[in-house]
Structure 1
Amino acid sequence: MIKHVAALAVILAALSATSAYADRLADVKARGFLQCGVTEGVPGFSELSANNDWVGIEVDFCRAIASAVFNDPKAVRFTTTTSADRWQALSSGQIDVLARTSTWTMQRDTQLGVTFVGTLFYDGQAFMVKKDSGATTVHDLDKQTICIEDGTTTELNLADYFAINKLSYTPLSFPGHDETVKAFQDGKCMAYTSDSSGLAADRSKFTDPADYIILPEVISKEPLAVVVAKGDDGWFKVVRWVYYALLDADELGVTQKNIDEMVGSDNPEIKRLLGVSDDDFGTPVGLTKDWAYRVIKGVGNYGEMFDRNVGPNTPLGLQPGLNAIWKDGGIQYAPPIR
């Protein structure tokens, strides 16, 4: 009953906010900065660095939008959101965009008064256990206690997978991420389940990461997407094309380092991307002609964002996999700018 009431509250807030935030781009410009919702502190995705600067792939995406709008990747402020309050923060207008790891599902897309922009990170649900637990596959978790964070897609995925495979388990749920991880570390459950990237991020913060393993099975599709409030098609298109520009630049080999050289390219696709052709794709969406140049100059392309935050040479050590550009074997793909 409580969950139904909470969902109703989000829907009502979305309906009331639609008219109040019908020109989000104008509001953001007038305010002078973007307000962006991110995770509470997940390595590689969003966290405060030792220098007290926000870093992570979610953070970089927020900075990409700020670059497009203000030509300043630092013209953004961050609001940490939980699995429980993220939708309310977005639909009420507290934040302009939600870059927090949020799985794109039909229920969320059609019932929460929000619009999904694009998948920032293709992921899947997995399980982490202590190495000395003896578990090597998910089937070893039969009849065991598993730690779960409330309000996430992991709850239903877990129930479905165990039912299909005729396994049983005891769920141990917590309202917040940090509480869930602590319970797992304290031995209150045999396994902790979440998105595989999140498990890798959590493990990187443990005192002895090598004492924990992530089981090989991935039991779900988790397209972790950027989200905006429903009702402002103009703002949706701004955020969506910032996302596409990051992918297009990656595909075309335009980087933060070589972009000024690429401005002189004879490639018509690069010229259109960087705003140096006769075509103007920025003005129709309320941006400058060189909006995509600003984005890449500010944060780099999608591949650069991935590599510096979660890639093979980071503590998370993730391979691009599905997150590679389509021509490199992944499924990241953007429509052409033309």
Structure 2
Amino acid sequence: MKLTKIALLLSAATLLPNLASAGTLEQVVKKGALNCGVSTGIPGFSATDSKGAWEGLDVDFCRSVAAAVFADADAVKFIPLTAKERFTALQSGEIDVLARSSTWTSSRDTSLGLNFTGVNYYDGQGFLVNKKLGVSSAKELNGATFCIQAGTTTELNLTDYFKANGMEYKAVTYDTSGQTIDGFKKGRCDAVTSDASQLYGLKLKMDDPNSVMVLPEIISKEPLGPVVRQGDDDWFNIVRWTLYASLEAEELGVTQANVDMQLKSENPSIKRLLGTTGTAGKDLGLKADWAYNIIKKVGNYSESFDKHVGKDSPLGIDRGLNKLWTQGGLMYSMPIR
């Protein structure tokens, strides 16, 4: 009998986090805005412009979720978080969704009470060095000192890479990407290692961006994506399908500029995406035009990518793996039907 009671108590305890996180949509609607966790400043992904307005690929994702829920992409409160703070902020309910360049790993997906809803950027860890160092490959960095942002997958990846190649290194850790690049500027380390996408942003923060270079090696898989708490499948679905709607729109050629015209389309896939037919909105607990509002207020995936990190941005990053599957990339929306 005692064992049965203990088992029941343990079972109830494991359910408490799930019960606590239920009804996120209702809580968001009641607040009148989405609390979205972003970085403290990663160019191209989440950073403030000269007027203090948030912008970037991850910021656009936050705005897309707000557009899907409220038909208002500005109904967002951006919460800047360090790598150390981000998961705790989500677990505690301080934020409703985390859109902060977070790598989807098995331990994060299974041990933190969190769920990754998809991948909005396929990345990999690289190296940024001063050209004066005179190296052209990461394998020439034996004995080097690295500036690293704490609380990331970077440290373990670096350890694994150096062990595998019989090399040694020293590390200087910082809480934010800004502090990391500042340490590099002041000569406290020989190199910076982080997600390659972040390195291109950090390069722009140098006094002379041409004095540094990103080395060719990519030493890890870093699938980055939005995260929610476990236990609220309805909210998980909304966040996941916000990403898919943005990708589906690109694949179907539906853009911010032509979405109103596309409301008259006879293409069955476009009609389901924009809610003129089908039950996608109802199934998500949203209005029929949820995806229309994402595209109208924010744009499709390619529009966000090109504007913030791609060909129309200062970073100028090639889409590479982030191309659609029809173009040789990995980006693939599940069918909206």
TM-score scaled by structure 1?
A: 0.94
Structure 2 equivalent of residue 8 of structure 1: none
Change (3 A) 1:14 1:321: farther
Which letter does structure 1 place at the counterpart of 2:306? D
Which letter does structure 2 place at the counterpart of 1:101? S
Change (3 A) 1:206 1:26: same
Change (3 A) 1:15 1:207: farther
Q: RMSD between aligned alpha carbons?
A: 1.3
Which letter does structure 2 place at the counterpart of 1:306? F
Distance, in Å, in 1 between the alignment partners of 2:20 and 2:163 is 44
Structure 1 equivalent of residue 10 of structure 2: none
Count residues in correspondence.
325
Distance, in Å, in 2 between the alignment partners of 1:303 and 1:59 is 14
Structure 2 equivalent of residue 238 of structure 1: 238
SS of alignment partner, residue 115 of structure 2? strand
Distance, in Å, in 1 between the alignment partners of 2:149 and 2:205 is 18
SS of alignment partner, residue 280 of structure 2? coil
Which letter does structure 2 place at the counterpart of 1:73? A
Change (3 A) 1:16 1:178: farther
Q: CA deviation at 1:32?
A: 0.6
Q: Give the conservation status (yes or no) of the 8 Å contact 1:23–1:232.
A: yes
CA deviation map 1:192-236 (0-9, x unaligned): 100000010111122210111000000000001100011101000
Q: Aligned ranges for residues 125-204 of structure 1 at < 5 Å?
A: 125-204=125-204
Distance, in Å, in 1 between the alignment partners of 2:260 and 2:334 is 23
Which letter does structure 1 place at the counterpart of 2:205? K
SS of alignment partner, residue 218 of structure 1? coil
Change (3 A) 1:14 1:274: farther
Distance, in Å, in 2 between the alignment partners of 1:52 and 1:173 is 27
TM-score scaled by structure 2?
A: 0.94
Q: Give the conservation status (yes or no) of the 8 Å contact 1:14–1:229.
A: no
Q: Aligned ranges for residues 1-338 of structure 1 at < 5 Å?
A: 17-277=17-277, 279-338=278-337
Q: Structure 1: any 5+ residue segments left out of the alignment?
A: 1-12
CA deviation map 1:45-64 (0-9, x unaligned): 11111222111111100000
Distance, in Å, in 1 between the alignment partners of 2:86 and 2:219 is 24
Distance, in Å, in 1 between the alignment partners of 2:45 and 2:206 is 17
After the TM superposition, which parts of structure 1 deviate over 6 Å for at least 4 consecutive aligned residues?
A: none
Distance, in Å, in 2 between the alignment partners of 1:34 and 1:317 is 30
Distance, in Å, in 1 between the alignment partners of 2:175 and 2:313 is 29
CA deviation map 1:73-116 (0-9, x unaligned): 00011000111010110010000000001000000000011000
Distance, in Å, in 1 between the alignment partners of 2:101 and 2:180 is 17
More divergent stretch after superposition (17-26 vs 140-149): 17-26
Q: Give the conservation status (yes or no) of the 8 Å contact 1:17–1:93.
A: no
Distance, in Å, in 1 between the alignment partners of 2:333 and 2:88 is 29
Q: Give the conservation status (yes or no) of the 8 Å contact 1:14–1:112.
A: no
SS of alignment partner, residue 256 of structure 1? coil
CA deviation map 1:282-333 (0-9, x unaligned): 1121100111111111110001010000002311110111111111111000
